[in-house]
Structure 1
Amino acid sequence: MRAPPNKVSTKGRRKGSSKKVTAKSIKVPSQRSTKRLASRWERIDVQYPGSYEGSNSTPNTVIPPKRVKNQSLRPSMLRQIPEEFHPFIDSLVHVEGDGHCGFRCVAAMLDMGEDEWPTVRQNLIQELDTEFGMYCSIFGIAEANEIRCALHVTSDGPVGDDKWMTVPNMAYIIATTYKVVFMTLAISGCSIFFPLRGSPDPPALHKRMAVAFVNTNHFIGVVLRDGHPMPLTAHMWTYNRRVEAQTWVDPYSARIAAYSAYLTAKHGGGDPSVVDLSEE
């Protein structure tokens, strides 16, 4: 931004005839008028195009990308993701923590933009209603109804924990609704969810999505590089998926087995998917 080339006199009346501003110039009473502050800025813009490109008056507005990725990995967040995934983390997708964070993560990771969380909720309700019998056989009628109640909201404001995204039950619905390989990461354990129905696409076209549960009350998205470990398959998928969906796991079997072996060695043998909750 540069100053006007000529000094502007602010005292008295201009001597001589006043030259009217043409239609091609800025539409203000005079080239030298100081009565409207905006004219000073407008004249600078005309005389020196591009000198004020950051102004709100600029007609071309830069729209931020729908998918927000924070390249600076927060140590506090990383500590809550199993260390074996750290070398493969490209970025973390941080979303607003208003009770809709899980659905915001799904929307952001699908390149819809996190503010499309109502669409995600509605899509999950539609899937649940379409295959209600299947989900009742998996979760039970009472829990299936509870899931539907948790998905339904009547406003776009913050909500309590009764409306949060819950894992593992909603993870099955997410994977099936969007036909994605859905991974959940947490220090307490990691799982992978495949669609319960529908034939898989060729492996090269598979969409993979990962979310991490942090701070005991918040979800963030995790963008992983190729070759990352594959968590253990969610237990109920094996017994409840339809026949046409059984090959979803095939391209990942070797990596899942490798991760299982890693957990076995790390925890000193035994089934890593079993946690002893006895007092002893």
Structure 2
Amino acid sequence: MRELSYQVHERCGCAMRVTHGLPCACQIHDSLVAGTGLYIRQIHPFWRTLVIGSGDGGTVPGNDLTEDAAHFRYLMEEVFDSDPAVLRNVSRIIEEELHPDHSNLREPAVNHRVRGRPRNNDTRRDRSYFEHVNRQHTERGARQTGDVNDISQSRYRHMLPGPMLPYITGWKDVIGDGNCGFRCVVEFFFGDQGRWYDARETIANEVLGYRALYERIYGLGRLEINVQRIRWDGGAVDSRHWMVAIQDLFPIATWFNAAVIILGVGQTPTCYYPCLTILPLRARRGVTAPEREFVIATVGASHFICIELAPDSPLPPVAGWWTEHHDPSVDGWDRRYEARRNMWDALIR
């Protein structure tokens, strides 16, 4: 199957891996393309410990630690070649893993003991009085100045880029159950964060529908892994199924034909990551521009909230992955944001 190139994924069937616990043709192909080689952990223990004959001089399992180190070095090389926002994001993750005492940011706990609230058996959290007021304002199509969603009243205020605070006209928190990123998506586009599983399925279908396009975003051979991460409908979840910024924002921007703006800050308020603007990677026939602007923010390193920006607000840089990998159908879409991009550059100097 060596001559099949990428088509090996369609012809392989993965029988060798499923029935014998040995790397199949498509796994070998991906390792050759990526230049990473194969790992002992990809071989079933039966073959690693098989002894033929008297048992003298039996095989000794290889050292996974050495292979892990080589794999980590390869990943670091890949990170250095990635979008600058990815480099900053990975650096932050590694720093938090090695030095957890350096950051006191934690996801806020949900207060389940609120006086004056009716009890029921609904698994979804009841809206607070403030959220009822906000929903009523939204349904009427009018937002009053200084309402309960004023950013000055947000507990996340210090986790947002300081220069952007004057342009933030409102914010919306969602339930922090591991699905918060996807809850933000359906809260904005459908007005119901309870439909987070619809967002997951929609995004997964978009990725699978344009494999060649999204392999440039998620990485060669990593599409199925990410689709499995995105597809989840079992309720609260750990980090294995969280939204991944920046990658997951590309199918969101593309499917909903929206400019997606993500805001956040690093360990210090002057570290603006992963502040980026993500545009659709492709356009449907007759579509010439994004129809909406969806703003999402990372807070506390593990939680997402919805943000509302004033019209014509400054916009962070357009993601480098969009510049490199977008379809010709969206050529020039970034130019319509040049003035707002210049505002951002002047703002953060």
TM-score between the two structures when normalised by the length of structure 1: 0.66
Is the CA contact (8 Å cut-off) linking 2:288 and 2:330 kept in structure 1? Answer: no
In structure 2, what residue type is equivalent to 1:71? N
Equivalent position to 1:233, from 318, 322, 329: 318
Which structure would you say has the larger Rg?
Answer: 1
Say whether the 8 Å CA contact 2:176–2:303 is kept in structure 1: yes
Equivalent residue in structure 1 for 2:251, among 136, 156, 173: 173
Q: Secondary structure at the match of 2:332?
A: helix
Counterpart of 2:180 in structure 1: which amino acid?
C
Q: 2:178 aligns with which of 87, 96, 99?
A: 99
Q: CA–CA distance in 2 between the matches of 1:154 and 1:71?
A: 29
Task: Report the TM-score, using the length of structure 2 for normalisation.
Answer: 0.53
Question: For the residues of structure 2 that align with 1:137 and 1:95, how far apart are their CA atoms?
Answer: 31
Deviation sequence 1:81-134 (CA, Å, 0-9, x none): 111211111111110000000000011111331011111111001101100121
Counterpart contact for 1:80–1:214, Cα < 8 Å: yes
Change over 3 Å in CA distance of 1:70–1:215 after alignment to 2:
farther
Q: Which amino acid aligns with 1:247?
A: G
Q: 1:253 aligns with which of 318, 321, 338?
A: 338
Bigger shift: residues 252-261 or 183-192: 252-261
| Contact 2:218–2:247 (8 Å) recurs in 1 | yes
Structure 2 residue aligned with 1:278: none
What are the within-5 Å matches in structure 2 for residues 67-78 of structure 1? 70-73=148-151, 74-78=153-157
Counterpart of 2:293 in structure 1 is 208
Which amino acid is 2:254 matched to?
A: T
Structure 2 unaligned spans of 5+: 1-131, 140-146, 267-272
Q: Secondary structure at the match of 2:304?
A: strand
In the alignment, which of 211, 214, 219 is matched to residue 304 of structure 2?
219
Question: C-alpha offsets along residues 55-100 of structure 1, whole Å, 9 cap, x if unaligned?
Answer: xxxxxxxxx6497995243343111111121111111111000000
Q: Distance in 2 between matches of 1:133 and 1:70?
A: 45
> Which has the larger helix fraction?
2
- Paired residues of 2:163 and 2:347 also in contact (CA < 8 A): no
SS at match of 1:138: helix
Q: CA RMSD in A?
A: 2.2
Instruction: Give ranges in structure 1 of 5+ residues lacking alignment.
Output: 1-63, 267-280
What per-residue deviation string (whole Å, max 9, x for no partner) do you get for residues 149-208 of structure 1? 1111142x20001101111110111101111000100013200000000168466x7200
1:153 aligns with one of 212, 220, 232: 232
Aligned residues: 199
Alpha-carbon deviation of 1:241?
A: 0.3
Deviates more, 1:230-239 or 1:243-252: 243-252
How much does 1:250 deviate? 2.2
The secondary structure found in structure 2 opposite 1:76 is coil
Does the aligned pair in 2 maintain the 1:124–1:174 contact within 8 Å?
A: yes
